[in-house]
């Protein structure tokens, strides 16, 4: 039958590598690190669960945390257009680092652009 994007990307192993490479960058990014916890272990664990289900794999995030309601969960953090761009840049670089290429990369990245834009909750000059 048809493969899910989760299978096409390479499943748990690739999601783990991608998320780890991503948060290494987030931790060092001057626009992002101030709003994230110092210890990103738990954040990364949740992001792996989320991206698994976002890509059509097992619904790990919902099983443990309930409905994602991502925009609501991001409201405590001032997410400006600059921070959304920075988030996407870290993801782009993480994809490059792990050698994720091809249609599944492009599809995922295009979807993430829309999701990241949806998370913006603060105008540029109010951070
Ligand atoms: C959590 C920032 C976009 C998925 C968080 C947290 C911050 C954050 C500060 C809290 C971390 C923690 O306390 O552990 C941002 C910024 C974004 C962004 C600045 C820029 C637009 C996204 C996108 C996704 C996403 C596009 C989905 C692909 C998540 C998930 C969590 C999270 C799943 C964990 C929620 C939970 O606590 O259960 N994000 N985020 N974020 N973010 Fe984002």
Domain boundaries, the chain: 5-126
Which structure tokens are listed for 74? 């991001």
How remote is the CA of residue 74 from the centroid of ligand 1, in Å? 6
What number does CATH give the domain 5-126? 1.10.490.10
- Gap between the Cα atoms of 116 and 10, Å rounded: 23
Task: Supply the angle between the helices 41-54 and 11-28 in degrees, to the nearest 10.
Answer: 130
Q: Which of 71, 86, 87 to mutate to test the pocket of ligand 1 (most atoms within 8 A of CB)?
A: 87
What integer pLDDT is reported at residue 107 of this predicted model?
Answer: 96
Note whether ipTM > 0.85 here.
yes
pLDDT band at residue 16, thresholds of 50, 70 and 90? Answer: very high
Task: Report the percent of the chain where pLDDT is more than 70.
Answer: 98
| 90 CA from centroid of ligand 1 (Å) | 13
Protein residue with its CA nearest to atom 12 in ligand 1? 43
> Which ranges in the chain belong to alpha helices (H)?
5-9, 11-28, 41-54, 60-65, 70-74, 81-98, 103-119
How far apart CA 97 and CA 18 sit, in angstroms, is 8
């Amino acid at each position: 039958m048809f493969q899910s994007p989760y299978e096409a990307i390479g499943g748990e192993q690739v999601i783990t590598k991608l998320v780890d490479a991503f948060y290494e960058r987030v931790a060092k990014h001057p626009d992002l690190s101030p709003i994230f916890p110092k210890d990103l272990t738990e954040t990364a664990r949740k992001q792996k669960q989320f991206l698994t289900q976002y890509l059509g794999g097992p619904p790990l995030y919902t099983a443990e945390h309930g409905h994602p309601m991502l925009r609501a969960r991001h409201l405590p953090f001032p997410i400006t257009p600059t921070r959304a761009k920075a988030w996407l840049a870290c993801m782009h670089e993480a994809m490059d680092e792990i050698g994720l290429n091809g249609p599944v990369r492009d599809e995922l990245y295009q979807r993430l652009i829309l999701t990241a834009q949806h998370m913006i909750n603060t105008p540029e000059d109010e951070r």
